[in-house]
Amino acid sequence: MRRILFITFVLSLFFTVNAFAEYKEVSISNGGAVKGKVTFKGTLPADAVEKITITKNTDVCGTGEREVVWIDVKGNALRGAFVFIEGITEGKKWSSPKDGKYLIEQKGCRFHPWAQVIRPGNITIRNSDNGVLHNINTREMIGVESGSAVKKVIFNFGQPDPGDIEKELKPRRSPYISINCEAHNFMFGFMLAPEHPYAEVVGEDGSFTIKDVPPGTYTVKAWHPRFGLKEGKATVSAKGVAEVNFEFSK
């Protein structure tokens, strides 16, 4: 029994280390692309949109009910989904974020953006709401495959005044991150913090294009915070385009 437990422990360390293997930036001259679309099929579940009554800071947050759209579908396009290549260890350089820094902005008692891909490292938390205390809580989501997960806190702090605070956001166990405001129970958002730049949030039409991919065969995954993970395979040729699509259902 002890031997089994030891082997299980060693394997868990192996997969944890490999999940965050060091990424090497190299010049890509013959890269291809992976493109596709993330869609939803079927009837939306009853809790796709949650209505939460606003009870505080109504001068800034608004009055009445806030609609939290957990599952955002237009036509058959599933918005708010992330797509990434799994296990790629070298490739293109990270692009610089807008204004040179990754940003979570709290404005109008909403997180902007709702979904984003970030490079693990420093991130700016901005409070743009005068006279409003926000309390941001960021958590790693462990075990997202089925759409449910154990959440472990990365950082959690109050921000009573407008302005910027710099924080380090380097998840240790999972690249899937949820954010919420402990002071306002209708503020939510999600992030993906992979070790490489081959990841995207899908567009308004559910489409994605991941560029400058070195030739090879890859596992490509789509993550939606409510539905979990789907995966597909893509074989990318030099300067070619591989297509992989993902369909979620309740």
**DSSP letters of 172-230?**
SS-SEEEEEETTEEEEEEEEE--SSS-EEE--TTSEEEEEEEPSEEEEEEEEETTTEEE
Q: Model pTM? A: 0.89
Position 69 in a domain: yes
Q: What's the chain's length in residues?
A: 250
Residue with tokens 């959440």: 151
**pLDDT at site 147:** 78
Position 30 in a domain: yes
Which stretches in the chain have pLDDT values below 50?
4-19
CATH code for position 119: 2.60.40.420
CA distance linking residue 124 with residue 127, whole number of Å = 10
Position 3 in a domain: no
Question: For 208-234, how does the pLDDT look when each residue is reduced to its tens digit (9 = 90+)?
Answer: 999 999 999 999 999 999 999 999 999
Position 9 in a domain: no
Domain span at residue 62 reads 23-248
Position 177 in a domain: yes
**pLDDT at site 175:** 97
**pLDDT at site 190:** 98
For the record, the structure tokens of 245 come out as 């699509």
CA distance linking residue 208 with residue 243, whole number of Å = 10
Residue 29's contacts (CB-CB under 8 Å, 6 or more residues apart) are none
Position 122 in a domain: yes
Amino acid occupying residue 72? D
**pLDDT at site 21:** 63
Give me Rg for the CA atoms of the chain. Answer: 19
Among residues 234, 223, 249, 242, the alpha carbon closest in space to that of 82 is found at 223
Domain count, the chain: 1
Among residues 122, 123, 91, the alpha carbon closest in space to that of 197 is found at 91
Position 224 in a domain: yes
Among residues 133, 132, 114, 238, the alpha carbon closest in space to that of 178 is found at 114
Position 5 in a domain: no
Residue 44's contacts (CB-CB under 8 Å, 6 or more residues apart) are 71, 73, 250
Burial of 7 by CB count in 10 Å (0-12 exposed, 13-18 middle, 19+ buried)? exposed
**pLDDT at site 12:** 45
